Structure 1
Amino acid sequence: MLHTTPPQSQTTPTSLPRPPNQNIKTMKQDIPRLPAPPAPSPTRRPKTRGLLRPPRRTNAFVWCAAFACVIFSILLILAGIATLIVFLVIKPRHPSFETTAASLNSIYLDTPEYFNGDLTFLANFSNPNHKMDVQFEYLNIELYFSDRLIATQSLQPFAQRRGEARLEAVHMISSEVYLPLKLSMELQKQVQSNRVQYNIRGTFRVRANLGLSHFSYWLYGRCQIELTGPPSGVLVARSCSTKR
């Protein structure tokens, strides 16, 4: 038997597939390129120069001034405490002012509205303190009829020891003082009834001495007096008060 080999089948060459790298390259060429993102801005580092500097030393003058202020504050507090203790121990009282006697010498009306008058009275100043001396540095006394000023007089300063009283004769003269018609008629009425009323107002500046220290204050005296008619008018009633 003869063996025959089958004839080989003839195959036509077909197109082989492209390698994958070539396909990827083609795809990359087809994809549009996106713009590159902006580069991040560099961050600024905080400045640390001030933190690295050593602390400054306080000036010696500042320390001296602070020490002086502390010493002054302590002395001021001690002075206040000492003054309070002195006040509690001594218990200071202000002097008093009053009128002990008076003489109405004349009242004359030149015209119905112009007044002339002459009045003398004794002013009594007393210092009720037993451990403190006082000094009157300023003294001014005014005379009023009703609420109208008709005379004024200033006195010389003087000093008063503790528990001392002093009498001062005060002469008040009124010359051509204008009075409203209503007050002029009221004055004539009081003269006819033998009862004339005046108001005395005193303004004083007093200095109190406490050993090495002292303090000053204003004092106000008020007296309402009633006298008989001139020419020999005498004091028949009075009401006095003294306030700071």
Structure 2
Amino acid sequence: MSHHRSPPSPPPPEPPESPSSVYCTPSPQSKATTPSPTARFFLSRHQSFIKPSPLTKHILPRQQSSNTLPPEFPYEHDTAKTSVGLYLRKHRRTNPAIWCSAIICLIFSILFIFIVVAILIIFLVVKPKTPVLDTSHATLNVIYFDSPGYFNGDFTFIANFSNPNKKLNVRFEHAVMQLYFEDGLIATQSIQPFSQRRKETGVVVIRFVSSLVSMSSNHARELQKQVMSNKVFYSVRGTFKVRASLGAIHFSYWLHGQCELQMSSPPSGSLMARTCKTKR
């Protein structure tokens, strides 16, 4: 009896493999635990809106909130701590010279404040006014030329000084008067110091004498022309140092006065018109 064997069947063909990808079937556990990209996006947004409760703040370790070095660097942490401790223990006494300079600066500051307050009181309560220079009479006695370019003259000026202040006394400590013709100086005269009480007026007689004063040819011709026309224009200018006082408080300032005069011709030249102004 013969047994006939059938030939073995070939193995089932294997699926073709891609050279760049490998097919794998995820397990059910990985499907359940791994969220999709969309779910992860919404989950992260939801966690960002959740604020930690006060319990979680107490549960968190204190090392996370403090600015200390991590435990991986213990030596650096100890060094910083010891340096801070040494820095806090250092204490130096202040130099006495610094204390002296500070006291001196304080004294000068108090004096400065006191002076400023005193000045404000004077200007706000007393209201100081400027003394006034004026004239009511003047005489032109002589004008002649000894030689071309050399002038000789005699002029008398009556200066009126008035103190308009109601609470301040003034004193003219330095006073110089000058006579000009066409901005050319022809005579100078100084005045002795004098004082004026409040609301007081004083008169000072000043005589200007010019002898062989050099004058330019243009000014000489102009002066001769004015003498012929019976109108001579002179200018009197004064510079004064005034000291105002209110009891023990006093202050000084410079005062400038100017009078423009129109005189008749000599020998009996009289004052025809004037314009006077006074300013600091």
TM-score when normalising by structure 2: 0.67
- 1:194 equivalenced with 2:227 (yes/no): no
- Which residue of 99, 109, 121 corresponds with 1:73? 109
Give the secondary structure class of the aligned counterpart of 2:94: coil
Q: Cα offset for 1:53?
A: 7.0
Larger mean CA deviation between 162-171 and 105-114 belongs to: 105-114
Measured in 2, the distance between the counterparts of 1:82 and 1:182 equals: 54
> Which ranges of structure 1 fall in alignment gaps of 5 or more residues?
1-44
Structure with the largest fraction of helix? 2
| Aligned counterpart, 1:167 | 203
Q: Deviations over 1:192-219 (max 9, x none)?
A: 1111110101010111112212111111
Amino acid at match of 1:186: E
| Aligned counterpart, 1:233 | 269
- 1:148 equivalenced with 2:148 (yes/no): no
Distance change (3 Å), C-alpha of 1:53 and 1:241:
same
% same residue: 55
| Aligned counterpart, 1:38 | none
Give the secondary structure class of the aligned counterpart of 1:58: coil
Structure with the largest fraction of strand? 1
| Aligned counterpart, 1:122 | 158
Q: Cα offset for 1:59?
A: 2.7
Give the secondary structure class of the aligned counterpart of 1:162: coil
Give the secondary structure class of the aligned counterpart of 2:164: coil
Question: How many residues were matched structurally?
Answer: 201
Measured in 2, the distance between the counterparts of 1:123 and 1:168 equals: 5
Q: Is the 8 A contact 2:122 2:128 kept in 1?
A: no
Amino acid at match of 1:141: M
Q: Post-superposition, which runs of at least 4 consecutive aligned residues in structure 1 deviate over 3 A? A: 50-54
Larger mean CA deviation between 209-218 and 57-66 belongs to: 57-66
Q: CA RMSD in A?
A: 2.1
Q: Cα offset for 1:54?
A: 3.2
Measured in 2, the distance between the counterparts of 1:81 and 1:70 equals: 17
- Which residue of 218, 222, 245 corresponds with 1:209? 245
Measured in 2, the distance between the counterparts of 1:69 and 1:113 equals: 63
- 1:98 equivalenced with 2:110 (yes/no): no
Q: Deviations over 1:210-233 (max 9, x none)?
A: 221211111100111011110011
- 1:224 equivalenced with 2:260 (yes/no): yes
Amino acid at match of 1:188: Q
